[in-house]
């Protein structure tokens, strides 16, 4: 499992602009995750996909590689930055 802390601010998500401009995975990152046989990816921001996605390419690549997705983990993820957990 990979947990991604991007520094997304939950309180800022009340702002419409912040809900449209958040950190997400690029297609190449999804490919890397699948190629490295990661089983699950979690992210602190709203979702792994860009706000304006049309086809959900990142979701398709991750799910196609049998990778689970956990969106919206929030600021609590900061507690695990730089730590390796087993």
CA separation for the pair 67, 39 (Å, rounded): 5
Residue ranges making up the domain that contains 13:
2-80
Query: Is 45 a domain residue?
Result: yes
CA separation for the pair 19, 36 (Å, rounded): 30
Residue 9: predicted pLDDT:
64
Query: Is 41 a domain residue?
Result: yes
Q: Number of folded domains in the chain?
A: 1
Residue range 5-49, pLDDT digits in tens: 988 766 555 666 656 678 889 999 999 999 999 999 999 988 888
Using 50, 70 and 90 to split pLDDT, how confident is the model at 65?
Answer: very high
Query: Is 30 a domain residue?
Result: yes
Query: Is 86 a domain residue?
Result: no
Question: What is the CATH number for 12?
Answer: 3.50.30.50
Q: Is the pLDDT of residue 77 over 80?
A: yes
84, 8 Cβ separation under 8 angstroms: no
DSSP 74: -
- Strand locations in the chain (E): 2-4, 40-43, 68-70
Query: Is 12 a domain residue?
Result: yes
């Amino acid at each position: 499992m990979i947990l991604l802390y991007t520094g997304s601010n939950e309180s800022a998500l009340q702002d419409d602009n912040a809900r449209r401009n958040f950190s997400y995975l690029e297609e190449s990152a999804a490919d890397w995750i699948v190629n490295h046989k990661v089983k699950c990816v979690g992210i602190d921001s709203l979702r792994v996909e860009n706000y304006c996605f049309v086809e959900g390419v990142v979701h398709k690549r991750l799910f196609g590689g049998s990778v689970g997705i956990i969106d919206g983990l929030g600021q609590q993820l900061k507690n695990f930055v730089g730590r390796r957990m087993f």
